[in-house]
Amino acid sequence: MRLSADQICHPAVIAHRGASGYLPEHTLAAKALAHEQGADFLEQDVVATRDRRLIVCHDLTLERVTDVASAYPGRARADGRYYAIDFDWDEIASLQVVLDPPAHQGPLRDDMRISTFEDELEAIRGWNRDAGREAGVYPEIKEPRWHAEHGIDLTKSVLGVLHDFGYRDASSKAFVQCFDATALRRCREELDSALRLIQLIAKDADPFHLTPAGLAAISGYASGIGLNYRRLFDAGATGRIVASPVVEWVREAGLLLHPYTFSRDGLPDYAEDLEGLLELVFERIRPDGVFCDYPDVAVKLRRRFGRGPPSKQYY
């Protein structure tokens, strides 16, 4: 799987959990719609089951997105949560997706269930072939330390599956993301992965990460960072919203900038709607990619407000 100059637009549109603004997150239905809408990358959050299968699910637990509580009563831990790692794959495969929020209400289909990581990559391969264009993959290694405490090397397993599907080096149309810097360094140093890595920056992360020195350190093992889009702007002396100095520091460190997550919910005071927010970011920040719940909106606005040639790190 190789990139060519006509396969990536700038900024890249990353379908956040698929077209999750329209269909239940991380279902194959949501991923297929995102592919149809022109997303450049489809995101996968990857966690493990008890029998060591990798599944695409944002949470370590299942109750928010499935009917696990009614299907398997009594299987919760003491905290009342139903952890994927306490279930075998065949049990999880039988679960129904919970159609929530109300905008997602509609008939359940077979492609509205949790899928394995391998099944999703196989589906993307088929969509790419049928459409004659290649949407890339963007897996997140979820809570690798937590998985290690349960005897599963999630980092190694995710990289192994990607390798099996042909995503093997920096020319592959893939990014691997994680909040855990130790896991990303291990990808590079111990597991010898040449894939492009994205350091996610959490809301409560050490402030050092977003200093010139911290970003320079990240550039030693990662290709870019993912951070909340609210960190892109500051209130200037006159109260006008201006680009945060972090944006320039990211550029100086030679890192890609992939802010998250653009949606219609929880908009900041300086944006009336999602379209206005994306326009502001495309014009003033010029990110290398954006995570969006509505890929079609980002694709449409990119045609109007995208700037400059794609970063050489995309090729």
Just list the catalytic residues: 16, 58
DSSP3 helix / strand / coil % (the chain, rounded to 5): 35, 15, 45
Separation CA 238–CA 41 (nearest Å)? 38
Q: Is the bond leading into 101 cis (omega within 30 degrees of zero)? A: yes
Cα dihedral across residues 245, 251, 255, 257: positive or negative: positive
d(CA 81, CA 92) in angstroms, rounded, equals 15
Task: Indicate the pairing of strand 241-243 with strand 233-235.
Answer: antiparallel
In the structure encoding, which two tokens stand for residue 135, read together? 């949407």
Across the strands, what pairs with 234? 242
Q: Which residue has the tokens 């969509």?
A: 127
Strands in the chain per DSSP E: 12-15, 41-48, 54-56, 136-141, 175-178, 196-200, 224-226, 233-235, 241-243, 256-257, 289-292
CA 66 to chain centre: 20
Q: Residue 61: beta bridge partners?
A: 83
Q: Are 99 and 108 in contact (CB under 8 A)?
A: yes
The SS3 assignment for 141 reads strand
Tell me the two tokens of residue 32: 């297929």
Rounded to the nearest 5°, which phi and psi values hold at 43? Answer: -85, 145
Q: How far apart are CA 162 and CA 179, in angstroms?
A: 19
